[in-house]
């Protein structure tokens, strides 16, 4: 039996099995099985299954079936609402407006620089690049543009909901 990494041992000492399962599952970029999550969270598979089902009932995760196996992924609605809550905690109304303006400026600059109106159009443009470096740079910019567009949508929703929820948060100035 091999010894575990000291960081893993410390994580296990300071964090409950439920919190480790939730941490691993919430950070997934694609659906994964209970056995994968159990391994990453350093818990028994049956322990992971119980915690995963609880997280599904709490609407933190969604359960799907892939090739006959249950797989788990972050619930997109929960993830979106948590991101908006984080925006409320990090920004007051003026800060949200500033963030919106910064994201809009970044997207406008990409539109002007590349002469396209979307990340998808930029990827098409990247297919015609003359060098691997240019192709990679365009692909990175397209990914950054998608992320900025997603964040812009979150910020706009936070601004819209600010009168309802923003004043109740612990926003920092």
Give the integer Cα–Cα distance in Å for 88 and 76: 19
Would you say the pTM of this structure is higher than 0.85? no
Domain that holds residue 164: 78-168
Does 173 reside within a domain? no
Q: Is 102 exposed, middle or buried (0-12, 13-18, 19+ CB in 10 A)?
A: middle
148 domain residue, yes or no: yes
Report yes or no on 154 lying in a domain: yes
Name residue, tokens 């990090």.
90
- Do residues 99 and 155 both lie within one domain? yes
Here the CATH number for the domain that contains residue 24 is 1.10.10.10
Same domain as 88, residue 11: no
Strands 69-74 and 61-66: antiparallel
Q: Are residues 145 and 158 in the same domain?
A: yes
**Alpha-carbon span 139 to 122, nearest angstrom:** 8
Is residue 101 assigned to a domain?
A: yes
Residue that terminates a domain, selected from 33, 50, 74: 74
Which pLDDT tens digits describe the chain residue by residue (173 residues)?
Answer: 345 788 889 999 999 999 999 999 999 999 999 999 999 999 999 999 999 999 999 999 999 998 999 999 999 999 999 999 999 999 999 999 999 999 999 999 999 999 999 999 999 988 888 999 999 999 999 999 999 999 999 999 999 999 988 766 554 43
Is 1 within the bounds of a domain? no
- Give CA–CA dist 71/79, Å, rounded: 17
Residues 92 and 19 in one domain: no
Biggest CA-to-CA distance, the chain = 59
37 and 104 in a single domain? The answer is no
Residue 14 lies in a domain: yes
For residues 155 and 152, what is the distance between their CA atoms, to the nearest angstrom?
5
Plot region of 72 (φ>0 → left; ψ -120 to 50 → alpha; else → beta) = beta
User: 136 and 63: one domain?
Assistant: no
């Amino acid at each position: 039996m091999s010894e575990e990494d000291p960081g893993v041992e410390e994580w296990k000492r300071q964090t409950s099995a439920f919190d480790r399962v939730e941490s691993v599952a919430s950070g997934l970029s694609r659906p994964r099985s209970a056995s994968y999550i159990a391994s990453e969270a350093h818990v028994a598979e049956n322990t992971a299954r119980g915690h995963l089902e609880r997280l599904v009932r709490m609407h933190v995760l969604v359960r799907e079936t892939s090739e006959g196996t249950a797989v788990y992924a972050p619930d997109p609605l929960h993830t979106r609402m948590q991101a908006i809550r984080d925006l409320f905690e990090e920004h007051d109304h003026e800060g949200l407006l500033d963030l919106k303006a910064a994201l809009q400026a970044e997207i406008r600059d990409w539109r002007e620089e590349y002469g396209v109106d979307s990340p998808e159009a930029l990827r098409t443009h990247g297919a015609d690049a003359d060098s691997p470096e240019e192709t990679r740079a365009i692909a990175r910019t397209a990914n950054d543009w998608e992320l900025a567009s997603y964040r812009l949508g979150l910020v706009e929703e936070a601004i819209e909901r600010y009168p309802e929820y923003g004043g109740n948060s612990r926003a920092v100035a």
